[in-house]
């Protein structure tokens, strides 16, 4: 298995309607997949995808 195909920890930072900064963590292949997972597992992000302000790889 190449290094490119390994899961990495990503933190998805987003702001709620009160402008409070929150975060969710996911293991994903890249930042786009982390965003997709965040939208799938977090109802607020699904309804407000532009609330995401940072996706950071934690490795």
pLDDT in tens, the chain (59 residues): 556 689 999 999 999 999 999 999 999 999 999 999 999 999 999 999 999 999 999 98
Q: How far, in Å, CA of 20 to CA of 26, rounded?
A: 20
Of residues 57, 52, 47, the one with CA closest to residue 22: 52
Q: What is the pTM of this model?
A: 0.89
Of residues 28, 35, 37, the one with CA closest to residue 5: 28
Beta strands in the chain (DSSP E): 8-15, 21-28, 52-57
């Amino acid at each position: 298995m190449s290094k490119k195909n390994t899961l990495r920890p990503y933190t998805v930072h987003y702001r709620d309607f009160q402008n409070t900064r929150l975060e969710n963590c996911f293991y994903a292949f890249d930042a786009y997949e982390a965003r997709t997972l965040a939208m799938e597992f977090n109802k607020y992000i699904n309804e407000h995808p532009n609330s995401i302000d940072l996706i950071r790889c934690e490795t």
